[in-house]
A and B are shown apart, each in its own frame.
Chain A
Amino acid sequence: DVQMTQSPSTLSASVGDRVTITCRASQSVNTWLAWYQQRPGKAPKLLIYKASSLESGVPSRFSGSGSGTEFTLTISNLQPDDFATYYCQQYNSYSYTFGQGTKLEIK
């Protein structure tokens, strides 16, 4: 199985900040990578697919980049609703695997 490793595991930031989360795959997944946001007690929500495509309705302050084994999710101008846990997920090969998550906390 492809292992997905996110860094950092926890990130403290303030409203208005710009933050970047990194996701590394143990082997190439091309651009078959998605990012999800999960708020406490809620289901995950799709943010980005195919590494850099923004899902309809998701604010443009979210952006994704990367290919192969290294990917980033960048959130600009952090808003209060953005403090949540973020997961990357590869869908290049079974079993589809997720990163362990990055918890974005208010500083």
Chain B
Amino acid sequence: EVQLLESGGGLVQPGGSLRLSCAASGFAFSSYAITWVRQAPGKGLEWVSDVSGSGDITKYADSVKGRFTTSRDNSKSTVFLQMNSLRAEDTAVYYCAKRTAAAVVRDYFDYWGQGTLVTVSS
């Protein structure tokens, strides 16, 4: 059974940093790209970032480019989202999702984790 479990969310002050983790199981982890999607309270879904199966290619939304970094440790079946210079508008539930291919190509999200809440507030 495919499972994705996010962790690391919490309350952080504006300008602070947080590192989210997405631990995966039930599939050949390094064979699939992973995506981060966020959802602000009461709002819709926003794509944030992709990382390829090998970890050598990453993509970012303009809203987080230069502040967020996605990486992965295939030996631990885990993806990370390092979030720096956090702003109030980054407050959201962050989901990781599995893609259907290793490359970050035209591809949808077939399994999602349950999400972790990040709150940026003083």
Contacts and interface: CB of A to CB of B under 8 A. Distances in A.
Interface in B8-67: 35, 37, 44-47, 59, 61-62
Interface string A77-100: 000000000010101101111111
A49 B107 CA distance: 9
Interface residues of A, number: 24
Contacts of B45: 36, 38, 44, 87, 89, 98, 101
Given A43-B115, A44-B95, A95-B61, A34 B109 contact: yes
Contacts of B47: 89, 95-98
* Interface of B, helix, strand, loop or mixed by DSSP: strand
Contacts of B106: 32, 91-92
A43 B108 contact: no
A12 B79 CA distance: 39
Given A43-B114, A44-B95, A101 B44 contact: yes
Contacts of B59: 94
B110 interface: yes
Contacts of B110: 46, 49, 55
Contacts of A96: 35, 47
A65 to B, nearest CB: 17
Nearest to A1: B62
A98 B46 contact: yes
Nearest to B46: A98
Given A34-B108, A34-B109, A91-B107, A99 B114 contact: no
17 contacts: A36-B45, A43-B112, A43-B114, A43-B115, A46-B109, A46-B111, A49-B108, A49-B110, A50-B108, A55-B110, A89-B47, A89-B108, A91-B107, A95-B47, A96-B35, A98-B45, A98-B47
The 3 closest A-B pairs by CB, nearest first: A43-B112, A34-B108, A96-B47
